[in-house]
Structures are given as structure tokens and as C-alpha cells.
């Protein structure tokens, strides 16, 4: 009986060590997520060691912050270069201001946004945005559940804004096709990876937009030269 108990204790000890070893290994894996509970965690991008909050909504695992990855050699500060970039692969901080970028993330042209998510993640598709919105009700009420509470990153707010999803959408504004910066704290605009095919898929793609003034989230086609915010979803 004593030998049996010793063997059982040894097996339990080995099992515990294996479990701890797997957890440690997972925590240092490039694509790992460190979960704080069943819906909230953090992910560290191995390319630049930027740590992002992540959330689980329905079956989706999403960034809860705007992407901030600086694609090497693709920053465009010059207005003329921006509006002549037909590769749509540039990015910039709002007003080319790093301090604004630290809060609101980066504004990516469309091709850049598709390339900017880390390995194991991708830019949300139009359908994935629809799935997110449907999990929160519909496009007419989801905005208030997605937006950050308060006025730190929004020009105004109201009592109906709850951010109950944890998505924490910010009013990051955008950079238009002529290189001008517009709408900071007024609205948040997010690329999808889905092209708009009604007329010419080479020039436009879908975006999702939220404004401080109402609770709706809009689906609009936009020229790919525009600079918008980006959110990543787990593969």
C-alpha cells in the first residue's frame, strides 16, 4: 500500500511538472496569448515587443487595441508621396505625430493594413466584422458596445456608451487620399481586408466606421489610398 501511494505521488508530481512546463513554453511562444480570465488576455508581438490587450467575443479572438506595427521603410510623411502611392502600402501616425500614434495606433493604407498583422493573426474581413456586430446585436446598436467610455479619445460621449464588449474602439480619425488628416476624436475608421467589387476592386475596399455622435456602426466603401486604423483577429 505504501509503494502504491509513493507511485501515485510520483505520477502526480510528474504530471504537475509537465503541465507547468507546457505553460512556460506557451508563454514564450511567439504566437502565445497570456489569458487573465476566459475572455481577456495579452499578446506580445515578437517583431517589436509591443503588447496588446486581446479579447474573446463569441468565437473570435481580437485585438482590443489599434495596431501599432511600423512596417519598415513604409512610413509616408510627405503629402505628395502619400497621394501618389498607387501601391497603397504606406502608413503614418496621425499628423505624423508619434505621441498621437502611441494612443490611437497607426493609420494604414489598405495593402499595408493587410500586411501589418503579426503571424497567426490577420486583418478582419468584412464578414468577420459582421460576425462581431451580430454578437452584439446589430449595426444600429453595436457602436455603443464597441466604443471606449469617456472623452479621453473621443470628442464626446453619452450614457449609452458601455464598451461592454471590451473592444475599446477609439476615435482615431483617418488620413484621406490627398494626405490630409481628418476626424481625430470625432470618428474611428477601421479597414476590412475585403475589396469593394461593385465598380473596380482595384481602388476601393470596405471599412467600418463609428462616430461619437451615435450608436450605429457604418459599412462604407473607401479608396485604398486612405489611411485607416486596423484591428487583427486570430487565424
Mean pLDDT value across residues 20-35: 53
Pull the grid cell for residue 110: 489598405
pLDDT exceeds 70 at position 123: yes
pLDDT of residue 31: 54
Residues 187, 151: Cα–Cα separation, whole Å: 12
The band of 32, judged by pLDDT with boundaries at 50, 70 and 90, is confident
Residues 30, 36: Cα–Cα separation, whole Å: 18
Of 199 and 161, the one with more pLDDT: 161
First to last CA, the chain: 50
Of 89 and 15, the one with more pLDDT: 89
The band of 202, judged by pLDDT with boundaries at 50, 70 and 90, is confident
How many residues in the chain?
235
pLDDT exceeds 80 at position 3: no
Please state, rounded to an integer, the average pLDDT across all residues of the chain.
Answer: 89
pTM of the model: 0.86
In eight-state DSSP terms, residue 133 is H
Please write the tens of the pLDDT for every residue from 59-111.
999 999 999 999 999 999 999 999 999 999 999 999 999 999 999 999 999 99
pLDDT of residue 11: 42
**Three-class DSSP category at 186:** coil
Residue 55, C-beta contacts closer than 8 angstroms, at least 6 positions apart: 39, 40, 41, 61, 62, 64, 165, 166, 167
**Three-class DSSP category at 92:** strand
Domains of the chain, residue spans: 1-30, 34-234
Amino acid at each position: 500500500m505504501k509503494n502504491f501511494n509513493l507511485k501515485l505521488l510520483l505520477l502526480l508530481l510528474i504530471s504537475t511538472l509537465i503541465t507547468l512546463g507546457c505553460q512556460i513554453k506557451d508563454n514564450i511562444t511567439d504566437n502565445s496569448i497570456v489569458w487573465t480570465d476566459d475572455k481577456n488576455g495579452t499578446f506580445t508581438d515578437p517583431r517589436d515587443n509591443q503588447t496588446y490587450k486581446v479579447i474573446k467575443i463569441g468565437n473570435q479572438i481580437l485585438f482590443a487595441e489599434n495596431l501599432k506595427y511600423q512596417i519598415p521603410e513604409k512610413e509616408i510623411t510627405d503629402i505628395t508621396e502619400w497621394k501618389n502611392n498607387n501601391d497603397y502600402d504606406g502608413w503614418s501616425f496621425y499628423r505624423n505625430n508619434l505621441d498621437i500614434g502611441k494612443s490611437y495606433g497607426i493609420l494604414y493604407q489598405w495593402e499595408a493594413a493587410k500586411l501589418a498583422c503579426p503571424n497567426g493573426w490577420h486583418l478582419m474581413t468584412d464578414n468577420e466584422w459582421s460576425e462581431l456586430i451580430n454578437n452584439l446585436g446589430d449595426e444600429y446598436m453595436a457602436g455603443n458596445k464597441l466604443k471606449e467610455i469617456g472623452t479621453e479619445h473621443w470628442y464626446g460621449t453619452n450614457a449609452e456608451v458601455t464598451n461592454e464588449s471590451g473592444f475599446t474602439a477609439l476615435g482615431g480619425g483617418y488620413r484621406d487620399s490627398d494626405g490630409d488628416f481628418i476626424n481625430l476624436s470625432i470618428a474611428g475608421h477601421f479597414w476590412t481586408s475585403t475589396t469593394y467589387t461593385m465598380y473596380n476592386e482595384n481602388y476601393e475596399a470596405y471599412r467600418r466606421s463609428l462616430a461619437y455622435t451615435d450608436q450605429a456602426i457604418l459599412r462604407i466603401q473607401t479608396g485604398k489610398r486612405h489611411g485607416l486604423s486596423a484591428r487583427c483577429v486570430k487565424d
